């Protein structure tokens, strides 16, 4: 994406027709953003076909308690996505605390630090609150310090850790909880004011 196309990224809900472009974005973001965190062999082997099947299946089945948002440039190019809804990967003891989960938020590294993540997370928090799916949580790789800093600025608090294996490599994930999602928009404005 050229800089001329970065100024007008809108947020819209994904549709079933977006599955191929969303899959390509998903693979591209992972191969770029996680290059120094996950094994190269795993990232290089990510399958566009499998991601397309995943998104096609997910978007083909309407669910009022699932949100998939896209960051889209004026020319239709996708720059990021967020999915959220009911919890599917609860931390231990989380069933008593969390009603919602941000399942994934991925933004092309070239677009990070421009406020797009804040906009997506505020939108998702409002949507989750409107459906009484709060408090919510999300998982972040411990080595993804940029993402961890981002979530902490917006009020996320580390709640628990777990060990996972990706591509044969042991990794640690941290569950960040958002107990007061109505505060995210205020914290996002403060973060902008500090820049």
Q: In what order do the strands lie in the sheet with 66-72?
A: 10-13, 66-72, 78-85, 100-107, 136-141, 169-178, 157-166
For residue 132, the domain's CATH number is: 3.40.630.30
Q: Helix, strand or coil for residue 65?
A: coil
Please count the structural domains in the chain.
1
Measured torsion, CA atoms of residues 119, 153, 145, 72, in degrees rounded to the nearest 10 = 0
Residue 127 DSSP class: H
Q: Is pLDDT of 48 > 70?
A: yes
Radius of gyration (Cα) for the chain, nearest Å? 16
pLDDT digits (tens, 9 = 90+) for 144-154: 999 999 999 99
* pLDDT given at position 60: 95
| Per-chain mean pLDDT for the chain | 91
Higher pLDDT, 187 or 64: 64
Cα separation, 69 vs 71, in Å, equals: 7
> CA geometry: angle at 54 spanning 50 and 58, to 5°?
170
33: its two tokens: 């953003």
Q: What is the mean predicted confidence (pLDDT) over 129-140?
A: 96
Higher pLDDT, 162 or 194: 162
Q: Which of 29, 35, 20 is nearest to 1 (CA)?
A: 29
Domain that holds residue 81: 3-194
């Amino acid at each position: 994406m050229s800089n001329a196309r970065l100024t007008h990224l809108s947020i819209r809900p994904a549709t079933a027709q977006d599955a191929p472009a969303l899959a390509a974005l998903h693979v591209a973001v992972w191969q770029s953003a996680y290059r120094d965190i996950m094994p190269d062999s795993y990232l290089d082997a990510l399958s566009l076909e499998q991601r397309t099947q995943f998104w096609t299946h997910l978007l083909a089945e309407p669910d009022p308690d699932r949100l998939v948002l896209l960051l889209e440039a004026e020319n239709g190019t996708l720059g990021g996505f967020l999915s959220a809804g009911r919890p599917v990967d609860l931390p231990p003891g989380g069933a008593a605390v969390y009603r919602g989960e941000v399942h994934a938020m991925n933004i092309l590294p070239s677009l990070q630090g421009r406020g797009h993540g804040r906009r997506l997370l505020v939108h998702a928090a409002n949507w989750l609150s409107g459906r009484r799916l709060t408090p919510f949580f999300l998982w972040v790789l411990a080595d993804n310090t940029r993402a961890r800093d981002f979530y902490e600025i917006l009020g996320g608090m580390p709640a628990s850790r777990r060990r996972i294996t990706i591509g044969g490599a042991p990794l640690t994930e941290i569950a960040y909880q958002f107990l007061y999602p109505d505060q995210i928009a205020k914290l996002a404005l403060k973060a902008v004011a500090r820049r």
